[in-house]
Structure 1
Amino acid sequence: MFNLITGNQSNVKNDMLSGVTVALALVPEAVAFAFVAGVEPMVGLYAAFMMGLLTSIFGGRPGMISGATGATAVVMVSLVAENGVQYLFAAVILAGLLQILAGIFKLGKFIRMVPHPVMLGFVNGLAIVIMLAQFGQFMVKNTAGEFEWMSGQMLYIMLGLIALTMAICHFLPKLTTAVPAGLVAIITVTLLVVGLDLDARSVIDYVRDMLPAEKAADASLEGSLPSFAIPMVPFNLETLKIILPYSLVIAAIGLIESLLTLSLIDEITDTRGRGNKECVGQGIANTVNGFFGGMGGCAMIGQSMININNGGRGRLSGITAALVLLGFILFAADFIEMIPLAALVGIMFMVVLGTFEWSSFRIIRKVPMSDAIIIVLVSSVTVVFDLAIAVIVGVIVSALVFAWKHAQHIHAETSIDENGYKVYELRGPLFFGSVSHFKEIFDPVNDPEHVVIEFQRSRISDHSGIEALDSLAEKYLAQNKKLHIRHLSPECRQLLKRAGDICEVNVMEDPKYHVVSDQLG
């Protein structure tokens, strides 16, 4: 019902137009998260520019958008409050270096081991978080300086403009995909508000509401180029003790959210990003942030979905978004300040509709009870606490369930087919824990000339399984016997060195799944 994806092919026009749309959507998010972290709005905008630009250039997932995020901002609050913004910059640099090390030591591959129920819970939980975050745009500051809900004409105009934005985003792609529907919606709603002089809250109104009264009148999103500066903190063990705990959490949360977003985009676009390279890209971006006055961040699922929905597939989309955002800050602050919040809220609501896995309602009664519980658990923890805790809880529960269900080792049912071939029909996953028993199943010396290994009811989960299959193929070849391997995924066939040429390919029946491997990381 809410399939908003406009296509899977990357081209320059789509990337650039989608990048402009993303740049507009980045502004209120960057400002909001800067206030969450307790820093000036420009620190958030600089972070959005640098994270978006550098991860698009050096990261491992074309089309994914990074910037200042709430997941990392909430970690920074106490550090800024207790020690000041310079310690935040130092912590972001250290977090970036830790992320680079994670990429160098190829830790990004382990995101492939996050179970599908955890991914469903992550996606649904983040969709709910994005939706709840938009309700903050319905709050206004009264004369007493307190926030209250919109009411009366202002509320009706807000709701009407949101509905118009969502209608344009939904129906325009059915007529044409020449331009991103989100960009058309923002321009249309902005011109309507300006032309009819409607009482609608704009981006600058939101910024002024968030600032103290003495600063609100002079509020502006106009700025200059970020400049290099070494954080003004003592370079000693005491400083390291202060920033290290925050850096570890920022690095971990940033990588978890980035790599899960990478996996989500992989699934949507039927392509594969490189997790280890993304770790390095995120680390470079955060390190540069600390030296140029940004608050750092990670991948943003909302803006990434906007980009994908509008046809942005290549690195150029993220680069364009970052450069356009910088252009707004330097030359066109007045334009972004006048954009109605309703247009951006409407676009984010469409992101929620497109991100939430509505099929989970349909399958919840069909999947095993353990999977259903994990989906609900991860979604709930994401909303109540944060993403990192939710994913860790989900992975732990899934691991316990897996250990319980797969306490028995891998096994095979053997038979002789109509051609006289001996068929080993494997049952259970082939991974590091089942490799030794896998090797004991086969008898290369006494088996007939032709042997079939059937993976239709099994799958290879990691590189240990690949090596075990390669080793088995070598044993059969040494006996001058023909081994036939059926129903492997394309990635498995790609990784096999000795057994790759003896895999039988069936495009219609062969499964597609990812393998935990450094070679594809």
Structure 2
Amino acid sequence: MFDLIRAQGGSPRADILSGLTVALALVPEAVAFAFVAHVAPMVGLYAAFIMGLVTAVLGGRPGMISGATGAMAVVMTALVDSHGIQYLFAAVVLAGVLQLAAGLFRLGKFIRIVPTPVMIGFVNGLAIVIFLAQLGQFQTKGADGNMHWLSQPALLIMLALVLLTMAIIHFLPKLTNAVPSSLVAILVITALVAGLELDTRTVVDYLQNMSGDATATIAGTLPTFALPAVPLSWDTLYIILPYSAILAAVGLIESLLTLTVVDEMTQTRGQGNRECLGQGTGNVLSGLFGAMGGCAMIGQSMININSGGRGRLSGMTAAITLLCFILFAASFIEMIPLAALVGVMFMVVLGTFEWASFKMMRKVPKTDAFVIVLVTVVTVFTDLAIAVFIGVIVSALVFAWEHAKQIHASRTETNDGRTCYQLKGPLFFGSTASFLELFDANADRDEVVIDFRNARVCDHSALEAIDTLAERYLKLGKRLHLQHLSGDCTKLLQQAGDMVEIDLLTDPHYRVADDQLA
């Protein structure tokens, strides 16, 4: 049932090594997003383990990595501050149920309506967000509770180590692909810092500085099952439902868009509806095991793909390795320099950003270029879900406006005393006004023919426009003939119903977007 070992272009060895690399990069990300959500670091680490393992096994995209994410953590903050962490767990469970419903109702297919300019803006915006998030690693929390840049010596050492990490990742594949260059870079930088006793920040330094606890550690136990300690009442549902709906939407949008990006990189195709089910299952279990939930992580997914991870085994390895870090190897992971992980993420930023979009924007229509920039900016400054919705809406409005101008008709007078209109173009809500302006009912003869052979009636607004036109001719006592309409149109037209000339051999067959036909 599940391709647990490999996918096209991958191997168990590559999956295991890339999974190890991803696990190392997951630790600071999970901790950072836990702080964003105002919960304990272990809540974020558990989420990375549960989401990573469940979606690796059940999800629709082998090689894609899921875990705690910033997009969802931002939504959680207000709920945690106002009602506490138990309400967060309940909201995550409900969000998972909503995602399961989306998968069962096969709503994942609607990701296909996201236009390419929106996808490019999403990728570019997320790359910038990842970059800006790494800048926080160059800062430390002062006694006043505010973030301050590192002192000059510490900053220079960290920058040098970041550049060395990036150089190893870039140049090592030119020599060998036997092991993931990101994993080698992390190990080399860790050994270099330990051997030379360089004074630079490590994972445990970051954890203790952000938490304000000098004894903070990522060491922990297995997550335990517990129902969220909240009242089972309508009041509870009233509190968590808005948050759950937003979490479910944000999680699915980011996951399905990341799935599309990974599809493009691997030249394979994931299963959107199955991914909805995987994400929903992961979030339900997260809420029941004291984790903050999450969704697909484009940064870690890029690390996995670039390191050779293609199969489900890579995601499973990353999740299980992360749990082993928590249970058995916390002291070793805590000594990893932040510079090494920042360098890895900077390479992800360089690989994720669609640099060709700068050249592309000079060649594509100005509206597409505008959508790319708009989605990028909104992603950076507000929220991913809002950016995608705005991008899709703007693209749809532009599409409607452009196609509304394409409808036209040629008018002729025949020898048998008829006025004939040959209609061309799509007839839908955006073009109905232009459609009605094409006809001069007063000037036309008593017999009028409108031929829809080269036109397409798309929605109910178009049907209403045809009925309105028919009523105009009826009031003037003129006979109107509507030719070559789809059978759906014939069923739904009221005023013009008896004016439709049916020709079973030549009439077109297509569906019209109308609730009465559903």
Same fold (TM over 0.5): yes
Check the 8 A contact 2:425/2:454 in 1, yes or no: no
Q: Which amino acid aligns with 2:316?
A: I
Return the alpha-carbon distance in structure 2 between the equivalents of residues 402 and 129 of structure 1: 29
Check the 8 A contact 1:68/1:298 in 2, yes or no: yes
Instruction: Spell out the pairing of 1:28-427 with structure 2 (5 A cutoff).
Output: 28-142=28-142, 145-212=145-212, 216-407=213-404
* Cα deviation, residue 218, structure 1: 1.4
Q: Which amino acid aligns with 1:310?
A: S
Q: Which amino acid aligns with 1:156?
A: L
* Cα deviation, residue 152, structure 1: 2.0
Return the alpha-carbon distance in structure 2 between the equivalents of residues 51 and 439 of structure 1: 53
Return the alpha-carbon distance in structure 2 between the equivalents of residues 439 and 300 of structure 1: 49
Return the alpha-carbon distance in structure 1 between the equivalents of residues 407 and 293 of structure 2: 45
* Cα deviation, residue 141, structure 1: 3.0
Structure 1 pair 408–66 and aligned structure 2 pair: CA distance change class (3 A): same
User: 1:25 aligns to what?
Assistant: 25
Q: Which amino acid aligns with 2:76?
A: M
Structure 1 pair 396–144 and aligned structure 2 pair: CA distance change class (3 A): closer
Q: Deviations over 1:434-490 (max 9, x none)?
A: 9xx999459xxxxxxxxxxxxxxxxxxxxxxxxxxxxxxxxxxx99xxxxxxxxxxx
Q: Tell me the SS of whatever aligns to 1:280.
A: helix
* Cα deviation, residue 147, structure 1: 2.6
* Cα deviation, residue 409, structure 1: 7.1
User: 1:452 aligns to what?
Assistant: none
- Return 5+ residue gaps in structure 2 as ranges: 1-6, 409-423, 432-449, 456-503, 506-518
Return the alpha-carbon distance in structure 1 between the equivalents of residues 195 and 189 of structure 2: 10
Q: Deviations over 1:275-299 (max 9, x none)?
A: 0110010000000000000000000
| Matched-pair identity in % | 68
Q: Deviations over 1:145-199 (max 9, x none)?
A: 5431012211111011000100011001111111000000000000000000000
User: Normalised by the size of structure 2, how large is the TM-score?
Assistant: 0.77
Q: Deviations over 1:108-146 (max 9, x none)?
A: 001011000000100000000100110000102345554
Q: Tell me the SS of whatever aligns to 2:63.
A: coil
Check the 8 A contact 1:410/1:438 in 2, yes or no: no
Structure 1 pair 10–438 and aligned structure 2 pair: CA distance change class (3 A): farther
* Cα deviation, residue 302, structure 1: 0.4
Return the alpha-carbon distance in structure 2 between the equivalents of residues 71 and 146 of structure 1: 23
Q: Name the stretch that deviates more: 41-50 or 265-274.
A: 265-274
* Cα deviation, residue 217, structure 1: 1.7
Check the 8 A contact 1:286/1:297 in 2, yes or no: yes
Number of equivalenced pairs: 418
Q: Which amino acid aligns with 1:172?
A: L
Q: Tell me the SS of whatever aligns to 2:268.
A: coil
Q: Tell me the SS of whatever aligns to 2:404.
A: coil
Structure with max Cα Rg: 2
Return the alpha-carbon distance in structure 2 between the equivalents of residues 342 and 218 of structure 1: 22
Structure 1 pair 160–366 and aligned structure 2 pair: CA distance change class (3 A): same
Q: Which amino acid aligns with 1:175?
A: L
Check the 8 A contact 1:103/1:280 in 2, yes or no: yes
Q: Which amino acid aligns with 1:65?
A: I
* Cα deviation, residue 407, structure 1: 2.6
Q: Tell me the SS of whatever aligns to 1:199.
A: coil
Return the alpha-carbon distance in structure 2 between the equivalents of residues 439 and 386 of structure 1: 44
Q: Deviations over 1:236-289 (max 9, x none)?
A: 100000000000000000000000000111111111111011001000000000
Return the alpha-carbon distance in structure 2 between the equivalents of residues 221 and 263 of structure 1: 33
- Return 5+ residue gaps in structure 1 as ranges: 1-6, 412-426, 443-477, 480-521
Return the alpha-carbon distance in structure 2 between the equivalents of residues 54 and 299 of structure 1: 12
Q: Which amino acid aligns with 1:399?
A: A
Return the alpha-carbon distance in structure 2 between the equivalents of residues 323 and 332 of structure 1: 12
* Cα deviation, residue 404, structure 1: 1.3
Check the 8 A contact 1:8/1:311 in 2, yes or no: no
Q: Deviations over 1:9-34 (max 9, x none)?
A: 11101111000000000000100010
